[in-house]
Chains A and B, each alone.
Chain A
Amino acid sequence: MTSEALLTWARGPGFDLALAIFVLGMLLRLFEILSLGNKPDLAEGRGSGVVGGLKTIITRNWPRGTVFAREPVRIINGYVFHLGFFIVLFFYGPHIELFQTKLGLSWPGLPTGVIDAVAVITVASLVLALVMRLTSPVLKQISSVGDYVAWAATLLPVLTGYLAYNHMLVPYTQMLALHLLSVELLLIVAPFTKLTHMFSFVLSRWYQGYQAGHRGIES
């Protein structure tokens, strides 16, 4: 198969297949969670569970000072690769064009020089995350194969995108095909690894926040 044929497949049927697995897989995961049910809290409440749930979905975006002081690098690094990933995904011109053809929505992008720098920072941040996972006794204790799969699946699209844009390592067409395939890998593994958190964090924050709101306690 030539690079062109591979690219055509990755852009067409390959992408559609991966996207279908992503969507159906995530829906399945959400169904698996919600179908387990949750008993209502019979204790007389002090406040609103709904307010507490919504509030916690927002407030958990920021760390508490007491924990931030202990692990500032790990926490800042977490923001860096999340934000970096979002910026290159949503503010790179060709990505926006893709969203426009698929969704009909468009928004202004960032200069490619900025995107390029953000991609480098994101890759560096992910490498640091891996180093921490491999060296911290706590992270080693709680890590399994899935963590490394999720890590690789997150890194590859950023890395191949950067290499393709800068025409590095292999010819552009070939790297672009690899970039698309890596995106498809990410879409396929996301519902079956911890990457599920991209949606389920709303539920987990909601459940703790709802109980806290109902009970009138901090969350």
Chain B
Amino acid sequence: MSAPSVEKGIQFIREQIDAPVASFFSSCVHCGLCAEACLFYGQTGEAKYTPINKVEPMRRIWEQEYTLWGKIKSSLGLSRKVTEKDFEEWETLVYDACSLCGRCSLICPVGNDISDMIRKIREGFAAAGYAPEGLIGASKRAVEIGSPMGVKLPAVKAQIAHLKKDTGLDAPLDLKGADYMVLLSSMEIMNFPEYLEAVARIMRQAGKTWTISSKAFEATNAGIQIGVSDIAAELVQRVVDAAEELGVNTVISPECGHAFTAIRWEGPNLIGRPFKFKVQHILEVLDDFRAEGLLKTEGLEEAKLTFHDPCQLVRKGGVVQQPRNLLNMVASNFVEMRDHGAMNWCCSAGGGVSANERADEVKFKAFNQKKSQLDELGVDTLVTACANCRIMLEEGIEEHEMDLPVVGLTEMIADHLVEERVEDKAEDKNE
């Protein structure tokens, strides 16, 4: 890669401008309603956090280069070119105060996909060298080591060994022809080993074969978050190569929001061809198992609990009903938050915000939105399906000294499996 520069940044932004982006800027009437959808504006009251304002440099480049009127204005010296100062000023708007949650896109009266434009403008900021240190580091580690948190294969193997020792369950590495190839997020490997155990138990009950690739176990994609398509494509390619080499039927994206968007929706577009396998989020897989009668549970959680919808699952991924079906199998007192589902509020740390320490202050302010949703309900347990949301929710809850455990949904389902009968079945099959 050539050295970062403002010219390069502008060039990268220019390349992102397509017909949808041009239609969005043409249609924007500056009504400001996107601000009302944004938790960063809502919780800070700072007008600069108005979503459409976050892509103002891109709007100027579009107007000056792709419209006749803009060209006339430029030639008369009536428009301001995008400069180094703009990159400096907008960097925090683009990275720190946007979790790419997509609420603004859903409320825009003229249908502008603003969060997608912010995802796009990041390409220019990263190319110009105006990206947060935390995300630059995460992207480098993802490319060089294979995980944004620097997790290597031995750590995965150690977790598999633990799993065998503690439960007798196996997590087969590189099993050719398996039904499913399971991806993990670094956070699940480091902080939430219960996810792997839950998957192992559920797969055993469902009677499905599954595997983890030693070459591509990491699901997260720092390239998407920082906005470097080359890196994003390379990370996707690793998963694609592994899945095709093993000949698996379906790749399962773990309890992580952006990882699902990255592999499910951006993936084929990044590598320039459709996949030869299916991609599902773990919740889609579990809900399929439920519908096919492969998921047998017993007992109900009695605690009053609610579900935090990860943005990338509901707004970008279309996974809305599945967690509700699953929760209703195992919970007797499941209540919904205000604005749940497609309009749920972000945990405040998505879209790379969690990897960007500089954003800590604004992130914790933005968390107050989630806090107010939770305070209204007064629940005993918070369930979610994204390791990144989970970490943020735990941090925010701790900051406010709230007493509220956060649980992953997959793990909760696994806790209610009727296992004896299935164990016999699995053993019969194996012998």
Contacts and interface: CB of A to CB of B under 8 A. Distances in A.
Closest 10 CB pairs of A and B: A205-B111, A217-B318, A207-B20, A42-B268, A141-B47, A203-B23, A137-B47, A204-B27, A218-B342, A200-B26
Interface in A182-219: 192, 194, 196-197, 200-201, 203-209, 211, 215-219
Interface stretch (A61-69, A90-98, A163-171, A173-181): A61-69
A193 to B, nearest CB: 9
A39 B269 contact: yes
Interface in B256-282: 264-269, 272-275, 278-279
Given A66-B37, A141-B48, 8 more contacts: A39-B18, A43-B268, A44-B279, A200-B110, A204-B23, A206-B111, A207-B24, A219-B111
B47 to A, nearest CB: 4
B112 A208 contact: yes
24 contacts: A33-B19, A36-B17, A36-B18, A36-B19, A38-B18, A41-B265, A43-B265, A60-B111, A64-B107, A66-B339, A78-B109, A133-B30, A141-B48, A196-B26, A197-B26, A201-B27, A203-B19, A203-B23, A204-B112, A207-B20, A208-B108, A215-B317, A217-B318, A217-B342
B32 A139 contact: yes
Contact of A46 (B272, B318, B343): B318
B339 A138 contact: no
B170 interface: no
Interface residues of B, number: 61
B63 to A, nearest CB: 10
Contact of B343 (A29, A66, A147, A201): A66
Contacts of A38: 18-20
Interface in B140-181: none
A133 B47 CA distance: 13
B348 interface: no
A60 B109 contact: yes
Per DSSP, chain B at the interface is helix
B330 interface: no
Given A32-B66, A43-B274, A44-B278, A143 B268 contact: no
Contacts of A73: none
B110 A205 contact: yes
A43 B267 contact: yes
B269 A218 contact: no
A204 B110 contact: yes
A207 B66 CA distance: 19
B111 A64 contact: no
A84 to B, nearest CB: 16
Interface of B: 17-24, 26-33, 35-37, 41, 45, 47-48, 50, 52-53, 66-69, 105-113, 264-269, 272-275, 278-279, 314-318, 320, 339, 341-343
Contact of B22 (A36, A44, A70): A36
Contacts of A36: 17-19, 21-22, 66
A56 interface: yes
A2 interface: no
Contacts of B318: 46, 215-218
Nearest to A69: B36
Given A32-B66, A39-B269, A138-B47, A201 B110 contact: yes
Contacts of B316: 215, 217
Nearest to B278: A44
Contact of A204 (B26, B36, B264): B26
Interface string A103-136: 0000000000000000000000000000001001
B152 to A, nearest CB: 30
Nearest to A217: B318
A42 B315 contact: no
Contacts of A207: 19-20, 23-24, 111, 113
A60 B109 CA distance: 5
B111 A28 contact: no
Nearest to A71: B36
A120 B47 CA distance: 32
B32 to A, nearest CB: 4
Contact of A28 (B41, B48, B68, B268): B68
A204 B30 contact: no
A129 B36 CA distance: 17
A204 B25 CA distance: 9
A44 B268 contact: yes
Contacts of A197: 26-29, 110
Given A41-B269, A43-B264, A141-B50, A211 B17 contact: no
B35 A138 contact: yes
A141 to B, nearest CB: 4
A216 B281 CA distance: 14
Nearest to B277: A44
Contacts of A29: 26, 67
Nearest to B102: A217
